[in-house]
Amino acid sequence: MSERVEKWLSPLYWNDINLCGKTFSDPVQITDIFVYEPDSESRPYFESVREIPDLFSRTVIGTSFGPSWTTKWFKFSVEVPRHFESKIICLFWDSSSEALFYDSSGIPLQAFTGGGGEDRRDMLIISRCGQPGSLIHGWIEMACNEMFGNGSGGLIQPPDVSRSFQLRVAEIRAMNGTIFSLFWDVKVLHDIMQNLPQEHPTSTCAMVKATQIINTVDLQNNNSIEKSRRLASEIFQLGDGTFGVNASTTGSHFKTNHEVVALGHCHIDTAWLWPYAETRRKVMRSWCTQMTLFEKYPTWKFVASQTVQYEWLKEDSPATFQRLRTYVSGGRFVPVGGSYVEFDANIPSGESMIRQFLYGGQFFQQEFQIKSKTFWLPDTFGYSAQLPQILTGFGITYFLSQKLSWNLFNK
């Protein structure tokens, strides 16, 4: 049964009849694309780039850009077909690298991560940018690097300074939002089946419900799709934020005994496999994406540490920083950590660590009128015995980490 569900979700098999193949319309290629290639390793901001239209030249899908660490700016326009009416308009972009989309007014909306693998992110809903029958205009800042730098032949390797990155995809498609939602309903059911023991009641329930959905749905009939979503709602009690199974699902009452709270977070190393200048843009790419998600998902919350990264965002894009402040005040974007950076806790002195919390806490207090109660240090290899005393002195009562198990003795 698990294999049947897997095929119904697959982007490779049964695309003529499965959910993945029916979620999006055929693509409309973007052909009106122009590129500006700044000199050397300069990283000009949108405000300056849009003032120099004469420096842009036409380009096409399939062109490669480089070398490593350089920046390319694209601008494009595309007419939205009228048959996209009542559908969700989506942009697909893959420059084999990291990139950031700006709408025509200069608001950064979402990052892309090109190439393959689990990190790939190539789709953005752009219905806000135009309607069927109109022209959509957009700008994309391309960073000539992958998510984990430009290592040659492996993740943690010296960078290859002469890499190039190909523009592979630039297109728009219409999304059937109901099928898209059903895809994720079934995807979660499949993941439950894969990650719980086969004999577990919840796994059995997920299998039964996925079977019911597949047997019920006709992807050519919207009423059938809506009925299948209602079947999914019998197992996902979305209204009160809990997950459970009612009696009609398996013939016996079952409900989980756990409450799961999920907060978004992306760990951004201030210094690792890329220049500091690229860290600053990673902050922009990552946090703008979250602010766009806030608009779509009203209950979504996100946490981020490291005061220096907030400072950089304020310097690089004051308007974006002001957007972030509104979400901080609303409790949806949550500054955590209290320290200036996520520091090494082995070598620095106690005085150094005290200054981390002094300067980090001052910025949070000044800009957001908040004081972090949580020390956020998930990625250092060891912890100083001075930390409990220092944290207590700054009124920090919680500590988050995940590296305590990364050793030879208790993992």
CB 92 within 8 Å of CB 23: no
CB 290 within 8 Å of CB 111: no
117 contacts: CB under 8 Å, gap ≥ 6: none
333-335 and 302-304 as β-strands: parallel, antiparallel, unpaired?
parallel
Could you tell me which of 282, 330, 321 has the C-alpha nearest to residue 302? Answer: 330
Separation between Cα atoms, residue 268 and residue 286, nearest integer Å = 9
3-state secondary structure 200-216: CHHHHHHHHHHHHHHHH
What are the φ/ψ torsions at residue 405 (nearest 5 degrees)? -90, -5
- Residue with tokens 């950031």, as numbered in its chain: 100
398-400 and 374-376 as β-strands: parallel, antiparallel, unpaired?
parallel
CA angle 199, 203, 205 (to 5 degrees): 110
> Is residue 379 annotated as a catalytic residue, yes or no?
yes
Tell me the catalytic residues. Answer: 379
